[in-house]
Amino acid sequence: MAVSLLSHELSDLCLGKPALRSLSITSTIAEALEVLKTSDDNFVSIWNCDDDECCSRCVGKVCIVDVICYLCKDENLVSPSIALKQPVSVLLPKIPGLIIHVEPSCSLLEAIDLILEGAQNLVVPIKTKVFNNKRSKQQQKPFCWLAQEDIIRFLLSSIGLFSPISSFSIDTLNIISPNTLTIEYHSPASAAIGAISRALVEQSSVAVVDSERTLIGEISPFTLACCDETVAAALKTLSSMDLMAYIDCGGPPEELVKVVSAKLKEKNMNGMLQHFTVSMSCGGFSSSSSSDEEYSSSSMAVQVSPFPRPGRISRSMSYSARMVRRSEAIVCHPKSSLVAVMIQAIAHRVNYVWVIEEDCSLVGIVTFSDMLKVVRESFETMA
């Protein structure tokens, strides 16, 4: 069984994966937004296209969070319409190795090593049947990509092979990282913009805490990715606590929309005010409540609490990445087992789980990368 697991190739993990939606690196941010808003994926791949398809390479990926953080720059808030005409290349992080091209024959071990070295996505050619040994000149070779979640999900199908490590607590395995991105709930949300950008790269999140480091909620790139670009206005005008309420349930209550509009007007951010007003008049970024009364009575009303229950299922998840996500943090305890935390993260479609004590004080965070390190080490004894 162990030998069988180690012999798997990435082509085995690619079965059923959809082909990537792609954009040329010369496309505009507005064009990327259009693709993202009509896609079931939170990311769109960016390609350095060439007339010779063999030379075309995926050079990065962007999501709505990239656009939000970009629009939060003062010069872009003044004129969002001009900012959105910029090439999508300005959104790509200047970090090498985030996207790696690999062959379908790449082994599972090699894939895990690449991810542990910093790769976020592995771009894999999709094997297709070619009839008459001919391929249309216009027909591009399809690709899919694999992420940490795909690897973890695949490993869970054989979790018994990792016994007894899989039953050990995350505390015992020493994979709880105390180095978390945090912001106090009363602080301006704008103070978290840099942390949000970093969390996007690290595939983690920003914890919202009180002065005693009690975990209240989170500002997660996974949640922001389900919003639209006008959340930049809320990021620049609201407190962290209000921002959680704004992005919760997929849409803001009317009262906070009015607050954002008033503050944009007060700061003379007329360009963003106009963009924001038009967006809200068209229904905003979701079919959320149109009044505070509806919002409060909704079965998905905000439930941000300083005392979240460990393991509470607080987000509406599915295999559609466009499903609504909530701001209530996914948590576990130091004594939670590795397999329990893996399942918890997979169930909520996030790459991390916050670790708290019984009094809800923040201990740290466990990420897929931390879990993969443990699994990779256990492979040494299986080989």
Q: Which residues contact 274 (CB under 8 A, 6 or more apart)?
A: none
Computed over every residue of the chain, the mean pLDDT equals 84
Domains in the chain with CATH codes: 1-78+88-128+138-164 (3.10.580.10), 182-281+326-382 (3.10.580.10)
CA–CA separation, 234 vs 252, rounded Å?
10
CA dist list (Å): 146 to 142, 152, 353: 14, 11, 20
Cα four-point dihedral sign 340, 342, 343, 349? positive
Residue-level pLDDT at 130 = 52
Residue 62 burial class via C-beta count within 10 angstroms: exposed 0-12, middle 13-18, buried 19 and up: buried
With a cut of 60, say whether residue 279 has pLDDT above it: yes
Alpha helices in the chain (DSSP H): 2-6, 10-13, 29-37, 64-71, 74-78, 80-83, 108-116, 148-156, 193-202, 221-224, 231-237, 240-247, 254-266, 270-281, 292-297, 338-347, 368-382
Residue-level pLDDT at 379 = 78
Residue-level pLDDT at 162 = 80
Query: Is residue 366 within 8 Å of 358, Cβ to Cβ?
Result: no
CA–CA separation, 272 vs 270, rounded Å?
6
72-99 pLDDT, tens digit each: 999 999 899 999 999 999 999 989 999 9
CA–CA separation, 93 vs 96, rounded Å?
8
Residue-level pLDDT at 2 = 56
Residue-level pLDDT at 128 = 67
146-163 pLDDT, tens digit each: 999 999 999 998 888 787
Residue-level pLDDT at 140 = 59
Of 325 and 222, the one with more pLDDT: 222
Find, among 322, 307, 306, 327, the residue nearest to 238 by Cα: 327
Residue-level pLDDT at 138 = 43
Residue-level pLDDT at 289 = 37
Least confident of 230-244, 253-267, 305-319: 305-319
Residue 374 burial class via C-beta count within 10 angstroms: exposed 0-12, middle 13-18, buried 19 and up: middle
Residue that has been written with the tokens 């849409």 in this structure: 251
State the distance between the two ends of the chain, measured CA to CA, in whole angstroms.
Answer: 11
pLDDT above 70 covers what percent of the chain?
Answer: 80
Residue-level pLDDT at 79 = 92
With a cut of 50, say whether residue 106 has pLDDT above it: yes
With a cut of 50, say whether residue 290 has pLDDT above it: no
Element spanning 24, H or E: strand 22-24
Q: How many Cβ atoms sit within 10 Å of the Cβ of residue 180?
A: 21
Least confident of 102-106, 171-175, 202-206, 379-383: 379-383
Residue 117, amino acid = E
With a cut of 90, say whether residue 182 has pLDDT above it: yes
Assigned token pair, 21: 């939606």
CA–CA separation, 383 vs 373, rounded Å?
16
Average pLDDT over residues 118-125: 96
Judged by phi (left if over 0) then psi (alpha if -120 to 50, else beta), residue 289 lies in: beta
CA–CA separation, 299 vs 157, rounded Å?
34
CA dist list (Å): 371 to 4, 16, 46, 113, 333: 21, 25, 29, 13, 15
- What are the DSSP calls for 319-352, one per residue? S-TTS---SSPPEE-TT-BHHHHHHHHHHTT-SE
53-56: long-range contacts, CB 8 A cutoff, minimum separation 24: 53/140, 53/141, 56/140
Going by their DSSP bridges, the two strands 99-101 and 57-63 should be labelled as: unpaired
* Local confidence band at 283 (pLDDT 50, 70, 90 cut-offs): low
With a cut of 80, say whether residue 251 has pLDDT above it: no
Residue-level pLDDT at 56 = 83
Residue-level pLDDT at 41 = 87
With a cut of 50, say whether residue 342 has pLDDT above it: yes
pLDDT above 90 covers what percent of the chain?
Answer: 65
b/e map 64-96, b = 16+ CB within 10 Å: bbbbbbbbbeeebbebbeebbeebbbebbeeee
CA dist list (Å): 138 to 27, 52, 58: 19, 10, 18
Q: Which residues contact 225 (CB under 8 A, 6 or more apart)?
A: 42, 63, 64, 65, 321
With a cut of 60, say whether residue 232 has pLDDT above it: yes
